[in-house]
Amino acid sequence: MENNKIAVGLDIGTTKIVAMIGRKNEYGKIEVLGIGKAKSLGVKRGVVNNITQTIQSIQQAVDEAESVSGQRINEVVVGIAGQHIRSLHHSDYITRAHADEVIEESDIENLVNQVHKLVMLPGEEIIHVLPQEFKVDSQPDIKEPIGMYGGRLEANFHVVVGQVSSIRNIGRCVKSAGLNLADITLEPLASASAVLSQEEKEAGVALIDIGGGTTDLAIFKDGIIRHTAVIPFGGNVITEDIKEGCSIIEKQAELLKIKFGSAWPGENKETEIVSIPGLRGREPKEITLKNLSKIIHARVQEIIEHVYLEIKNYGHETQKGKLIAGIVLTGGGSQLKHLRQLVEYITGMDTRIGYPNEHLAGDSDDVLSSPSYATAVGLLMEGLEKQSTIIEEEPAVVQEKEVNADLNPTEESQEIVEEKQEEKTVKRGKSFLEKFTERFKEFLDNAE
């Protein structure tokens, strides 16, 4: 594999937008070449609500990443989260015409495409279709059916659904910032690939990513994603509560939370007081740390209980669904003091803080292994992963296709020919998501 292949992860969050450029070094670890960060102004609860401001913030983050790394950014892998994401379970089957031939990738693709045709609520679109176990004829619990004989192929699927308009808005922002959309990934999945180990995914683990506007949950068991959810509040609601409860401005509330905040009220004594300068000639305000942590504790408890409800709904309390590896906390909100202890106390599950440093090269900057960059690192990994499959499988065809797609997005005949060529070349390398992204790109091109 060539070593000069770079990829870019773009994490469009509620509090910050991060662009991360990186490549794989000779040991297969990720070397981050540059990182750009901008305050996110047009995003609320993970959903874009001001296109112009979001475009500006994306451009600012990308420009910074470009100037740090000296690389040009054309394509980005974008994460999607937000309160409109929901997931459901679905079983489906196909009856194969030739039961005397072994099951191939194409059979699984047919089955997945069938799930993609599910009728959703108006305005919703399927983002991911993730197969869990397969069943061949009547033999259950098969992880990998390829190569087996069988007439009826059945599978349980984890289907992630989102609002079309929100997905389009993100695509629109990325395109208007002068970038191409290489891929769209669910943010909890990206964070999971950055901070979880394979052993944890096998044993059963819940990843809780506490961001600025949303808290994302991804549950793995037996190495397979079992459940995802996006809960529509995160660190911002804590800041909001401090602001209201102490009658101070948001900037001061945020600083208080980061510097003195604790999720465990018993820690602080009544006598510990912080003085905050008043606004323009007003008296300074005095706030006891005990009150501060009471406010934080109440809100954090609510967030954790919400998440724990989702974990219980997935079936953590059953024998089969037990999450042995417990909980991994990541995202900016996971840096709150004593949060780990509180989570263990509420859920009774082992908890650790997840740092995205496992896949980073040894000499990486310490800043990068902060939990608040977990999603960006995961998106970057996704981009690099996608490229390595492309490089190994099909050097020429893809470039040809991309050039054509850029020159004349409306000439579909040309694209279909190329797609057929591509299907032949890469039987294995194409995820269902890439197909979704392609359809989505086509849609964007036609829309403009």
With tokens 């869990």, the residue in question is 132
Tell me the pLDDT band of 266, cut-offs 50, 70 and 90. confident
Orientation of helix 374-393 relative to helix 187-195, angle to 10°? 90
Domain 1-84+162-197+358-448: homologous superfamily in CATH: ATPase, nucleotide binding domain (3.30.420.40)
pLDDT of 194-251, one tens digit each? 999 999 999 999 999 999 989 999 999 999 889 998 898 899 999 999 999 988 999 9
Which residue do the tokens 């609500």 mark?
49
Q: Which helix (H) or strand (E) holds 64?
A: helix 51-69
Distance separating alpha carbons of residues 67 and 33, to the nearest angstrom: 10
User: What burial letters (b/e) apply to 72-102, b meaning 16+ CB within 10 Å?
Assistant: ebebbbbbbbbbbbebeeeebebebeeeeee
pLDDT at 119 > cutoff 50: yes
pLDDT digits (tens, 9 = 90+) for 6-31: 899 999 999 999 999 999 988 888 99
**Are 308 and 343 spatial neighbours (Cβ–Cβ below 8 Å)?**
no
Tokens of 36: 């750009």
Supply the DSSP symbol for 372: G
Give the amino acid at 69.
S
Radius of gyration for the alpha carbons in the chain, expressed in angstroms and rounded? 23
Domains 1-84+162-197+358-448 and 235-300 in one fold: yes
Closest-CA residue to 208 (of 224, 185, 191): 191
The end-to-end CA distance of the chain, in Å, is 37
Instruction: Name which of 89-93, 300-304, 350-354, 388-392 the model is least confident about.
Output: 388-392
Q: How far apart are CA 370 and CA 24, in angstroms?
A: 20
Residues sharing a CB contact under 8 Å with residue 401, sequence separation 6 or more, in sequence order: 415, 418, 419, 422
DSSP state of 277: P
Reduce the DSSP state of residue 132 to 3 states and report it.
strand
Question: What percentage of the chain exceeds 70 in pLDDT?
Answer: 85
Supply the pLDDT for residue 306: 93
Helix orientation angle between 432-447 and 164-176, rounded to the nearest 10 degrees: 70
- Fold exhibited by the domain 235-300: Nucleotidyltransferase; domain 5 (3.30.420)
The answer to whether 286 touches 274, Cβ cutoff 8 Å, is yes
Residues 191, 206: Cα–Cα separation, whole Å: 12
Instruction: Output the DSSP codes for 304-344.
Output: HHHHHHHHHHHTTTSTTT--TT-EEEESGGGGSBTHHHHHH
User: Which SS3 state, helix, strand or coil, does residue 33 take?
Assistant: strand
Residue 138: predicted pLDDT? 86
Q: Tens digits of per-residue pLDDT, 39-85?
A: 998 898 888 999 999 999 999 999 999 999 998 989 999 998 888 88
The identity of residue 195, as a single letter, is V
- Residue among 175, 160, 339, 322 at smallest CA distance from 258: 339
Q: Locate the domains of the chain by residue range.
A: 1-84+162-197+358-448, 235-300
Q: Is the pLDDT of residue 392 over 90?
A: no
